[in-house]
Amino acid sequence: MDMLELVDIFVLALLAATAVAVARVRNLWAAVMFTGIYSFLGAAWMLILDAPDVAFTEAAVGAGISTVLMLGTLALTSREEKPSKKSPVLPLIVVVVTGSTLIYGTLDMPRVGDPSAPVHTRMNPSYIEKSEHDMHGEMPNVVTSVLASYRGYDTLGETTVIFTAGIAVLLILRKPGKRKTELPNSAEQKGSHG
């Protein structure tokens, strides 16, 4: 098990190196690519932490959709980041203070896999006991049955929200040239009706 911890440390080190690369690189196209690498690594890390559903989401949203959306944004802006002339001291202090506050907050959290943690003691055990019978067979993962069946309407609502947000982003990123050709026509129609 100690050897597997070595793998965990290696993955976390690669995550940190990628994050520094995203912050340092000036070519925005390369930065988008590094965020893709970061999502792949982050999803692998979530898999190591026994969260396959979150890893699925991170792979689909982080590595798939958001890369495409950021490239679409790059098509509307320039490829190079303008060098900032402001002093980086104040943002650095803010980031360090926020980060140390967050790390201080994790000190109160229970250890990973602690059986006495609230997440393992407060939940109604009937989900685990009845899940296999309710799902008519062998369901290897209780999370899936809770997410897709017991909380099905909740998940449907979340999907609707994400779908609406995707439509909004697509409308924002639409090519401006198309609208210019449409606008005079609609103006003419309005004029002819009026």
Positions touching another protein (CB under 8 A) are: 3-4, 6-7, 10-11, 14, 17-18, 21, 25, 29-30, 33-34, 36-37, 40-41, 43-44, 47-48, 52, 55-56, 59-60, 63-64, 67-68, 71-72, 74-75, 140-141, 175, 177-178
Element (H, E) at 33: helix 28-48
| Alpha-carbon span 176 to 75, nearest angstrom | 12
CB of 192 to another protein, least distance (A): 26
Nearer to another protein, 24 or 136 (CB): 24
- Residue with smaller CB distance to another protein, 18 or 131: 18
Q: Is 159 left (phi over 0), alpha (psi -120 to 50) or beta?
A: alpha
Q: Least distance from C-beta 89 to another protein, angstroms?
A: 25
- Dihedral angle of Cα 88, 93, 94, 96, to the nearest 10 degrees: 120
Rg (CA), the chain: 24
- Complex with another protein: residue 11 or 127, whichever CB lies closer: 11
Cβ-based nearer residue to another protein, 52 or 155: 52
**Tokens at residue 57, please?**
């989401």
Helix-, strand-, coil-residue percentages of the chain, each rounded to 5: 75, 0, 25
For residues 3 and 90, which CB has a smaller minimum distance to another protein in the complex? 3
